[in-house]
Amino acid sequence: MAQPSLSRELALETIERVEAKLREGFRPTGIGGAGPGAASAAADAWGISRGTVNGRLAAAKLHYGLEPDDTLYRAQRYQQPVPRAVVQDAPPPEPQMSRPSGNAVRVLAIGDLHQDPRHPDRLHVLTWIARYASLHRFDHIVQIGDWSTWDSVNQHDRNDTAGAKYKPPIARDMENLKDSLAAWRAGIAPDYKPRQTVVLGNHENRLERFENANPEALGTFTTERDQAFLQYGWKTRPYGELFYIEGVAFTHHPVNGVGRAFGGETGPQRAAGKTTVPIVSGHTHKRQVHDAAKIGPVDVISMVEIGCALPWGVVESYAKHGMTGWWHGVVPMTVQGGVITDLAFVSMLTLERDHGDRLAA
């Protein structure tokens, strides 16, 4: 039998160093949360790579049946003494453990644009947003879906109705998509090359549904749509998928157990009770932020609805005269280690005033 590559003495030392970090409040393997885990913290203190420590832990278990005692872990925040119950003050938390792990990524989230060939005035907003993004140099730009309305293939107005006469042809919708992408490029600085992602929405999904109902057209319009985005530097993600940046999910809307959006006044609150990650979404056209407190190393899950990116005050006709609560603008944020650390809302009025070609009304 071949001799183990790891001596028992070194295996025990590795276990002891990891257990020491568990006692200090660093997380055991398999538990999510801010900051490095116990094995990573032990490697950093030891001055060796994290991969080396993980390899030694695996070898210690394989050859000697040794592994760290995870029951030694106590979250640091619960170890702080209460000042009125003891004579010493509560010590501040160790910054290395309380700060999110990973790298801070600055993201510009753009809500539902609903570009439509019947409303060419909506093209302007893309140039304004692109100029704003060029000024602030975000690392990643995410458009949250419903870039276009795609009423050409909507199933709400049957083709034998009067309303269907106002539906544009698919070709006009596709041409409008390309015009809107050109409007975006017109505002982007030549030396600015951010990552750009579109998480497709239910309005883009109208094309998939149309092709499914008309199989002779399968792949015709969806391929042209996705290639148009790619030509202008935008990668697309499927409708309903959670797209992650630093552990924060971006999607058109979170989906419940029956495959529908969490809707209504309490949609974000109910979704927060189900998700294990923060979620940034659109769809409702509303501006909402809900922080749900949690028990455990991750003590808060944030749900952010980013409104829409229509011109200020524009409400789609389907909303009729009901109350909407829509908000119009874009949402810059910073995400890091599964946490939304910074969040702001910039209105379309501000974008037009600072980056438009005409004075705001």
pTM of the shown model: 0.78
Per-residue pLDDT tens over the stretch 311-331: 999 988 776 666 678 999 999
Q: List Cα–Cα distances, 339 to 33, 112, 243, in angstroms.
A: 9, 23, 15
Please, how many CA atoms are within 13 Å of residue 133, restricted to the half-sphere of its CB? 33
Strand order in the sheet with 287-293: 243-245, 248-250, 279-281, 300-306, 287-293
**Strand, coil or helix: what is 137?**
coil
Question: What residues pair up with 306 in beta bridges, in sequence order?
Answer: 287
Token look-up 């949609």 returns: 267
Write out the two tokens for 84: 């009125």
Contact predicate 203/156, CB 8 Å: no
What pLDDT is recorded for position 359?
A: 40
pLDDT at 268: 80
Partners of residue 347 on adjacent β-strands: 329
CA neighbor of 270 nearest in space, from 282, 254, 248, 247 = 254
Q: How far apart are CA 323 and CA 262, in angstroms?
A: 19
- In this predicted structure, what is the pLDDT of residue 30? 78
- pLDDT the model gives residue 316: 83
Cα(215)–Cα(172) distance, rounded to whole angstroms?
21
335: which strand partners?
105, 340
Q: Do 284 and 264 contact (CB within 8 A), yes or no?
A: no
pLDDT of 260? 78
| Per-residue model confidence (pLDDT) at position 360 | 38
Residues 6+ apart with CB under 8 A from 63: 4, 6, 11
DSSP annotation string for 314-333: ---GGGTTS---B-BEEEEE
Amino acid at position 56, single letter: R
Backbone dihedral region for residue 108 (phi beyond 0: left; psi -120 to 50: alpha; all else: beta): beta
Helices (H) and strands (E) in the chain, counts: 10, 12
285: closest CA among 256, 243, 313?
313
CB 202 within 8 A of CB 283: yes
In the predicted model, residues of the chain with pLDDT beneath 50 are 1, 80, 85, 359-361
Which region, left, alpha or beta, applies to residue 156 given φ > 0 means left and ψ of -120 to 50 means alpha?
Answer: alpha
Residue 56, SS3?
helix
Q: Which residues of 175-240 form beta strands (DSSP E)?
A: 195-199, 235-237
**Three-state SS for 199?**
strand
**Residues near 324 by Cβ (< 8 Å), separated by ≥ 6?**
285, 286, 315
Dist CA 158 CA 53 (whole Å):
64
Alpha helices in 121-234 (DSSP H): 124-136, 170-187, 205-213, 220-231
